[in-house]
Every structure is written in structure tokens, then in C-alpha cells.
Chains A and B, each alone.
Chain A
């Protein structure tokens, strides 16, 4: 709609991530590298999915079940990827700890580990926003705009930016929850991330019906807020436990 609108849409999707990046992640170069690698891994999973589904697209039917199958397979692949990332993360933590011992510096604190998880999650979120929203924004910098018939009240770019914001939140913070769950062995946290991801993906199916985005997008935001709150609780609990453990030891 003009350069201003284009930049506005981009900031809508990525604004909070940008501020989080500047405030937390750019301070430590290792976190930036983690972000870049997790973005790359997400992209590779997306390419793998598109390789599988390319033959079937575009769907000729208007029914909802091929789309739900698509979402199911995508979420399944990405959650399996999360498990793989946890293994890699564990290995890397061990290497970093060994290195820290060698240079006689303290081992990784719990906050460090959570920051690495945050950077990894943000990599996924940023990759989602970039590929599903930002890369389609190029026409938005021109003089016109575009509406989708299923959701015809607001421009397409705005809808995708809003959805991207929700997904960025979900991806970023569910990674923190998942890594916490894996390291503590907490089953509830371990299952939280896949369930929320799947639920969020399935809620977007509501957008297939005309006017469905009025229902789908608020539900998506409910998921995002649930993720945020749960992450906050988990982190708070973990930190206070840690602090009380430290004071007990001293």
C-alpha cells in the first residue's frame, strides 16, 4: 500500500522479536549464532515438507481434510525436529561446560541455558514470520493492496502479519518450555509444546471457511497467551527453585 504500510506490516509481525533480539540476543554473540542455526534448521524442515507436498499442490478440492493432513504432517515433522534439537543442545551444553572447565570459567548458569533455548525458539519464530509473512510482503510496498475472499474485511497482509505475530510468540516460548521439560524430565512440559503447536495449526483451519478468521485468529491468540503465561510460570518456578537451592547450599 506504500512503503510505510509495508514496513508497518513487517514490524507488526517481527517487532517484538526485534526488540527481544536487540535487548537480549545481540548482547551475546553465541545466542545470535544459535538463532541463525535454528532459523536454518526450520527452513530446511520447511523445504523437506514442500518437497513432499509439492506434487499434490495446489489442492483442487475445497474440503478441509487435505489441509488438515498437511498441517498434521508439518507439525509432526517440526516437533520431531524439536526433539532432535534438544539432543544437539544437550551435546553442545556439555561441550561448552567442558570448555569452560578448561579455561577455568564458571559453568553455564540456568539463565544461560534458558537464553539458549529462547534464542533457538526465536529462530523458529523468526523463520516462520519471514517465510510465511515477510517474503509475501513485496507487493505491499506498492500502491495497492490485496484481499482474500475468505477473510475479506481486512487486507491479506494485515491478517498474515497478525497470525505471524501469534506464531512467533508460540514458537519462541514453547521452545523454552520444551527444553525445560526435557532437562527436568517434566512430562507436562514436554507435551505442552507439541500440543500447543498442533492446536494452533488446527485453529488456522478455521480460516478455510468464509468469515472463519474472526474465530480462528482470536483462538490463535489464546494459544499464544497460554504459552506466554505458562513459560513465565515455568521460568519463575525454575529460577526460584534454583535460588533457594543455592541459598541452601551456602
Chain B
């Protein structure tokens, strides 16, 4: 071999942060696709289960309606849903304004308890039924109880190992996304498009609730309490010059204080996840009401991408000057330089891909690539504009576009070519 190893190039580490956020998103989508294909096989969904939920309050679809009726019904449902989400978000802003963060934090823990315990339990029962897994109810109850309690602690507390927290967040995303895929087809697509438009409006318009939330949190120099997935921060070695990407600059500023950085990166999951459940509370409420009527809670808050602070701390003091704080929305950077993505984004991406899985796997692959492309575009815009940006619009709209194009155009083409064994 050579005498001394060659110094490593930037190719080794470039793009690491993006991969650390693309991987859990991909895992979440994969799990939802697997759940959908295992559990929905053989059951006709659109007319079998009349799924009463908040999202189908205005119109419950049946497969015998005409296309125009379905379209109108889906539109109506989506409008109702977005209205509820807007009201819930404004409520959240109000509570945050009145500094009821304790209340919100407890509510978040409670609703993650409901998601993991009840939704997780029901899906586990479906899986056990589908695979004829031999297990008795006492073992199942004990296992479910333990699973739920650890999950609530992971979301609630800050001292949990980061991997466990990340895993539980992905599981919560998978469970909620699976429940959303049980909605009727036109309603789901209408909902996705409506939520991404709402997201766009809520973050960018001056009166939008998410923007208000961000500004409030910025003024107070607090973290926005919500369910956020935070990727593990990339610890770079010293010696980086002022990098092109802002995040490198921030990391550089903290590179001298490795100790502080490590402490802070441990603390961050707490503060970010700790305080309140942005919307989980809403879903919790609905789940409680719904358990009788099997209604699905609106994941109002979950829908909203989460924002986080980017504390540019250039000195060793604990609290940086608030003027340096900048909140980036949807996808953003935590104060340790790691990327954070709101759980609502996970959920809606997975709903899109899960719905595509209900048609065929070709649409799944196409929609997966579209969603990842949208995520990449959003990240690039984020690095460019350094403003609060919503994470849903690009991915969902690209995903819907690719779904339609694949279903209408690509499938015939590929099947025709393959059946004749013609490939290129």
C-alpha cells in the first residue's frame, strides 16, 4: 500500500446532514408501505369500512358516486379539515402567547400515549390477525404497556438516548400515517393538496398562524414546543474555514466549545420536543372523542411543519444574543447544527406514498423519488433564503404530479414494453 494514507476529501462528508434526514423519512415511508400492503390486501377499502372521522365529516365517499360528486365531496372534506387545523393552530398560538407551555407539554405526552397505546395497539392486533401470530392477551398487554410507556418517556423527557427518541418519533409518524391512509381515496388526495397549500399560506403570509408562532418564539428566545425529529448532529473536525453553507459557519462557531456543544446537543431534544405538542393535543382530543365512534383525530398540528430556532451562538455564554436567533421553518437547523424536520411532514409524506401503494408499486417508487426530490429542493431553498419555509408544498405537489403521470402515462408504456420483453 502507500506509505501514508492520502488526506480525505470533502466527498467523504459532504451531504451527510441531508442523508441523516432522508434516511428516517425513507424508513417511515417504507414501514407505511409495508403496513398498507400487508394489511390492506384482500380487503376492499372504499366501500367496506365506512370510516367516520373528522376528515370525512362533510362527505363520506362511497364508490358508487360519480366523479364530480367525489371531487366536490373531497373538496368539502379538505376545506373542513383545513378549517379545523387553522383553528387549532391559532389556539396553539394563543396558548403559547399566554405561556401555558406546561399544559401543552403534558398534552403532548398524553396524545403520544394515545397514539402509541391505542393506535399502535389496534394496528398490532390487525397484524397479529393477519399473520396468525400466537400470542395471549396478557403478554400482549404487558408488551404494549411497556412499549407505550417508554415511548411517552422518550417524547416527554430529555434524558433518553437519541436513537430511542428518533425511533419512537418515526413509529408515531408511521402509526398516524397508516390511519390516514384508511380514509377514502379522493378525500386523501384532496386533504394532501389542501394541507400543503395551507402550509404554504400559514408560514409565508404575514398573518399566518405558524409565522406568528415563529415570531413569538423568536421574540421570547424560546424553543417552539412540538414534536420534531432531530437528526444526529454532524460533528465536524476543526479546521473548517468559513463554509459556504450557513450551517458550517454555525458549527464552526461552536467548534471550539466541544463540551458545550455536546451538552447542548443532548439538551436540544428535550427543549425542542419537550414543551408542547403542536397539534398532537388536537389529535388527542379527537381520538378521545373518537374512540367510541372510531373517529380519527385531525392531525392539525402534526400537519404543520415544525420550526426551530437556530441559535447562532458565537460565544461561550449559554444564551446567545437574541438578535442572532433565527427560526427556520419546516426543515431547519437546531442549535447544534443538526437538521430538524417536523413530524407532520413525515406523516404527510408517508400518507402520500401509502396511498400510492394502494394502487400499485410503480406509483410508490415514482412518488418516493418525487418526495425526496421535493425535500432536497426545500433544503436547498432553505440554505438559500434563510427564512422560515414550509416543508410540505414541494414534496406533496411533486408527489401528486408524479402519481398522476405514472398512473396515466408511464404504467401503460412500461407494461407494454415489458410484456413484449423490450427494454432499453
Contacts and interface: CB of A to CB of B under 8 A. Distances in A.
Interface stretch (A14-22, A46-54, A172-180, A234-242): A46-54
Interface string B273-313: 00000000000000000000000000000000000000000
Nearest to A198: B424
A131 B361 CA distance: 9
A201 B423 contact: yes
Given A29-B13, A58-B416, A213-B421, A102 B244 contact: yes
Contacts of A100: 9-10
B13 A135 contact: no
B362 interface: yes
A53 B409 CA distance: 9
A187 interface: no
A208 B422 contact: yes
A11 interface: no
B242 interface: yes
Interface majority SS on B: helix, strand, loop or mixed? helix
Query: Which range contains the number of A residues in contact with the other chain?
Result: 35 or more
Nearest to B12: A28
Interface in A50-82: 50-51, 53-54, 57-59, 67, 70-71, 74-75, 78
B418 A132 contact: yes
Contact of B420 (A36, A167, A200, A208): A208
A74 B412 contact: no
Given A70-B417, A70-B422, A116-B11, 17 more contacts: A29-B14, A33-B18, A37-B376, A43-B366, A43-B369, A47-B366, A50-B414, A99-B14, A103-B243, A104-B241, A106-B7, A131-B414, A134-B365, A148-B421, A160-B418, A200-B424, A201-B423
Contacts, number: 168
Given A49-B413, A78-B424, A138-B361, A30 B373 contact: no
A89 interface: no
A228 interface: no
B414 A40 contact: no
A13 B14 CA distance: 30
Contacts of B19: 29, 32-33
A135 B362 contact: yes
Nearest to B242: A102
A130 to B, nearest CB: 5
B221 to A, nearest CB: 31
Interface string A126-146: 001011111111100000000
Contacts of B242: 102
B421 A160 contact: yes
A228 to B, nearest CB: 18
Contact of A57 (B8, B406, B416): B416
A247 to B, nearest CB: 11
B414 A135 contact: yes
B372 interface: yes
The 6 closest A-B pairs by CB, nearest first: A50-B413, A207-B421, A135-B362, A29-B19, A201-B424, A30-B15
Given A29-B16, A43-B369, A208-B420, A99 B414 contact: no
A150 interface: yes
Contact of A29 (B6, B18, B243, B244): B18
Interface of B: 6-16, 18-19, 22, 239-244, 248, 360-362, 365-366, 369-370, 372-373, 376, 402, 405-406, 408-410, 412-424
A167 to B, nearest CB: 6
Contacts of A150: 420-421
A94 interface: no
A148 B241 contact: no
A134 B13 CA distance: 31
10 contacts: A29-B19, A36-B22, A71-B424, A99-B10, A104-B239, A112-B11, A115-B11, A132-B418, A138-B360, A197-B424
B423 A50 contact: no
Nearest to B361: A135
A201 B420 CA distance: 13
Contact of A106 (B6, B376, B415): B6
A151 interface: yes
Nearest to A135: B362
Contacts of B417: 70, 132
A30 B410 contact: no
A201 B424 CA distance: 5
Contacts of A70: 417, 422
A188 interface: no
B421 A204 contact: yes
A43 B414 CA distance: 11
A108 interface: yes
A48 B184 CA distance: 30
B23 to A, nearest CB: 9
Given A103-B243, A106-B9, A58 B421 contact: no
A91 interface: no
Nearest to B13: A29
Contact of A135 (B9, B360, B424): B360
Given A36-B372, A58-B412, A67 B15 contact: no
A32 to B, nearest CB: 6
A30 B421 contact: no
Given A148-B421, A200-B424, A50 B10 contact: no
Nearest to B412: A57
A200 B424 CA distance: 7
